[in-house]
Amino acid sequence: MRFGTLRRLVRTYRWLHGLWHYGSGQWSWLDEEILDVTALNKMLWRDSVPSMAFFVMLVLSGIIATVGLLSSSTATVIGAMIIAPLMGPIVGVSYGFALGNRRLIRRAFLTLAQGAIATVLTAIFVCKVTGLETVTAEILARTEPTLIDFMVAVSAGAAGAYAKLNPRVANAFPGVAISVALVPPLSVLGIGIAFGNSVLWGGAATLWFANLAGIVLSGVLVFLWQGHGSLRRAKGGLIFSLALAIAISMPLAISFRQLRFQSQNRQMVRRTVEALLVATSENLDVRKIVLQTRGDRLFVEVEIGIDDPDKIDPARVREIQTELQRTLNRSVTLEVTALQVRRLVAPPAGGTL
């Protein structure tokens, strides 16, 4: 019985193997080729050594990113990500950890530090020259990192390391740069320093270090997986990158928990408000919900648009508050702002409103 099962598994494997290669032809010249050690070493050393081209592209990327952030232009920020060369030295750090090559690690870290400082100074300079002091949505998006950002960094780091190894997918490297977004957090850090806003530069610094930790850790693992380096040589680098990843993940986990709390409770508040006010007005629009936790109490601010604000009286607000406390199972302080909504309909040509 045991040997019969084994024979069936072997036959199934052969059938699947034949199906996979059916009609593929003898295309040996299309087989994937991984870069040899000499070519890989040369490429990663070149990316890890600072040059005039490196700093020129980095400063230009920093200018584009800062202007895009200050003007809240997503397309401009994406353009800055594509031309930024910071991914090179970070992958060099991962490769140095995998090989246990201290010289490459020091060289790549120094290049990375110089590039980060140059990007921050560029952002400060642009802020001072333009005189803009508006905190846009693009800036705020880089100040509240969560575990989701760390997961993106880990995936992007793995993709970046694999793209360096495999010429066939090298064209994906710009996409990796976009996904991990290394320059915008540094630009926000500089903007925060220029504005004297510790919340901005603190959140941006956390995001950048989360990206760095995720890329380095996954990059080391990919290089080891592809046979570059050994666990014995990479032991110190793995421990360092893993410790950095764990340390940076702790505040990110707290932020992610708060994000989930905000999202879930905001949906509950919206459903409760709409359910209790739907009979009050046909034109009801919940425009804004702000949640703040202070101790055991939840403070909820709701802004709604309604055709007759007088329909929202204190008794109605207390009814909503009671229902929220029952639904959320905690003390709730509720503040409702009702704004009048006017509905205007344009009749056919020649008519009047």
Same domain, 268 and 153: no
**Whether residue 335 sits in one domain with residue 210:** no
Residue 223 lies in a domain: yes
* Mean pLDDT of the 13-19 span: 69
Is 293 or 48 the better-scoring residue by pLDDT? Answer: 48
Domain that holds residue 119: 37-229
Q: Which of 204, 77, 196, 75 lies closest to 127, judged by CA?
A: 196
Residues 296 and 151 in one domain: no
Residue 145 CB-density burial (10 A; 0-12 exposed, 13-18 middle, 19+ buried)? buried
- Strand 331-340 versus strand 297-306 pairing type: parallel
pLDDT confidence of residue 349: 64
Please indicate, yes or no, if residue 8 is contained in any of the structural domains. no
In a domain, 351, yes or no: no
Q: Is the domain of 56 the same as that of 163?
A: yes
Average pLDDT, the chain: 81
pLDDT digit string, tens, across residues 26-49 = 544 445 556 667 777 888 888 888
- Residues 143 and 91 grouped into a single domain: yes
* Domain match, 221 and 334 both: no
Same domain for 271 and 162, yes or no, is no
Does residue 278 share a domain with residue 165? no
62, exposed or middle or buried, with CB in 10 Å at 0-12, 13-18, 19+?
A: buried
Task: Answer yes or no: is 242 within a domain.
Answer: no
Q: What is the pLDDT of residues 269-278, one digit of tens each?
A: 888 877 777 6
Considering the domain architecture, whether residues 152 and 277 belong to the same structural domain is answered as no
Residue 74 belongs to a domain = yes
The CATH number that applies at residue 168 is 1.20.1080.10
pTM for the full model?
0.71
Complete DSSP assignment for 267-299: HHHHHHHHHHHTTT-SSEEEEEEEEEEETTEEE
Q: Is the pLDDT of residue 174 over 70?
A: no
Highest mean pLDDT among 155-169, 241-255, 335-349: 241-255
Residue 263 clears pLDDT 60, i.e. is over it: yes
Residues 106 and 162 in one domain: yes
3-state SS assignment for residue 20 = helix
Q: Are residues 153 and 69 in the same domain?
A: yes
Is pLDDT of 120 > 90?
yes
| pLDDT at residue 178 in the model | 64
In angstroms, the Cα distances linking 288 to 95, 291, 336, 353 are 48, 10, 10, 30
Query: How far is residue 125 CA from its own chain's centroid?
Result: 26
Q: Is 36 left (phi over 0), alpha (psi -120 to 50) or beta?
A: beta
Count of beta carbons in the 10 Å neighbourhood of residue 135: 19
Q: State the CATH number of the domain containing residue 308.
A: 3.30.300.20
Q: Is residue 276 situated within a structural domain?
A: yes
How many structural domains are present in the chain? Answer: 2
Q: Of 86-100, 133-147, 270-284, which gets the smallest average pLDDT?
A: 270-284
What pLDDT score was predicted for residue 192? 93
Tell me whether residue 212 is in a domain: yes
Beta-bridged to residue 149, according to DSSP, are none
Asked if residue 302 and residue 196 are part of one domain, the reply reads no
pLDDT band at 108 (very low <50, low <70, confident <90, very high): very high
